[in-house]
Amino acid sequence: MADPASSVPGREARHPLVGGRRVADMVATIALLTTATAAAVLAGWGIVFLSLGFHSCIAPGNRCDETLGGTVVYAGPIVVALVLVLTIVFSVLRLVRRHVAWPIAAVGLVAVVAAFFAALLLVDSAITHGI
């Protein structure tokens, strides 16, 4: 009986990972996901601690957009967690399907770091230091 995957057009050109390449991909993916998880925890707490910058709003001459800052401080950790969960889900799906998964984990790690720096820039723009 013919292989069902061979009846799909374009499927014959793809070769699943085998042997050492599969092990290397799995190790790299797990290492990147572990690093991304640690970075997400640090980024989430870092975003929460950005709210401490709003204590300077009571100083004379300082202005703060507390709506923007509050939104970033509350939504930032949720965005970081969502990026991490999506990264883990898509990486595991690619590993189960025996496709290369480490690039997904690497992009997820970069996205977690980018989300933190985006939150940092938004909070910084919400606080205007006066004199």
**CA atoms of 116 and 15, how far apart (whole Å):** 37
Q: Read off the pLDDT of each residue in 94-106 and give the average, rounded to a whole number.
A: 93
User: What pLDDT, on a 0 to 100 scale, did the predictor assign at position 5?
Assistant: 54
Give 63-93 pLDDT, tens digit per residue.
888 888 889 999 999 999 999 999 999 999 9
Beta bridge partners of 54: none
Higher pLDDT, 61 or 5: 61
Coil, helix or strand at residue 54: helix
Q: Read off the pLDDT of each residue in 86-104 and give the average, rounded to a whole number.
A: 94
User: What pLDDT, on a 0 to 100 scale, did the predictor assign at position 9?
Assistant: 60
Higher pLDDT, 125 or 87: 87
